[in-house]
Amino acid sequence: PNAISVKKIELMQACVSKRSIVEMGDSVMYASPDGIVRVGPGMTDVITKNIIDKDFWTSLNPSSIHAHLYDGKYVGFYDNGTPGGFIFDPSNELSPFALMTVTATAAYSDVVRDGLFLAVGTEIRQFADNAALLSYTWKSRRAETGSPLNFGWAKVEARSFPVTMKVYARDTDPGSVTHNQMVLKHTQSVTNQNPFRLPSGFTSDEWEVQFEGSGI
């Protein structure tokens, strides 16, 4: 204890909810007005700044967030009029942030039983203790190709099938009522990892891809 030193955090990011403060082992995380802040040895930053848009984060009502540690993940619950939850996994580079319909008014992380227990209504439930898989929807960020083009083929690599793939493209037709809007161009039910053809007859310079399913 005589070696402890106090250092003021230089990052100008207030904690908007004391119930959002979570000890993550090597660091501490909390909800700020701009996202989730991580504070630890050699790290003090809004760790979600390149992942979560500030307007979207604000829509979750950060001051209502209470969060908890589960299997190395930051599990948060919010109430913006429609209660919900999210999982932030700082170790997952491909998909670090996910929304979920599961919600709770309180929770407790039990390290002895290795579980997160939720207060849901008048019941106590264990998080992720159900064999049934929930459905998911994942949508990519908008990708710009630089010049208009048309993709001819696609392939989905997944651990389980079927997966529903939806392709969105910016409408580049000046005479269209959806000009400059992202329009659904193709929906494909994918049952294996074999390549499949995409529709032709249009080009675009901005693309989004969405996947839906219930596997892992």
Per-residue pLDDT, averaged over 124-149, amounts to 87
Per-residue pLDDT, 119: 97
Rounded Cα–Cα distance for residues 216 and 214 (Å): 7
Q: Could you check whether the bond before residue 162 is cis, i.e. omega within 30 degrees of 0?
A: yes
CA-nearest of 138, 128, 7 to 72 is 128
Per-residue pLDDT, 216: 62
What's the predicted TM-score (pTM) here?
A: 0.75
DSSP assigned state of 63: G
Rounded Cα–Cα distance for residues 102 and 122 (Å): 15
pLDDT tens digits for 42-62? 889 999 999 999 999 999 999
Chain centre distance of CA 56: 11
- H/E segment holding residue 57: helix 54-59
pLDDT tens digits for 4-43? 888 888 899 999 999 999 999 889 999 999 999 999 988 8
Burial class (CB in 10 A: 0-12, 13-18, 19+), 81: exposed
Per-residue pLDDT, averaged over 79-98, amounts to 92
The structure tokens listed for 212 are 């839906």
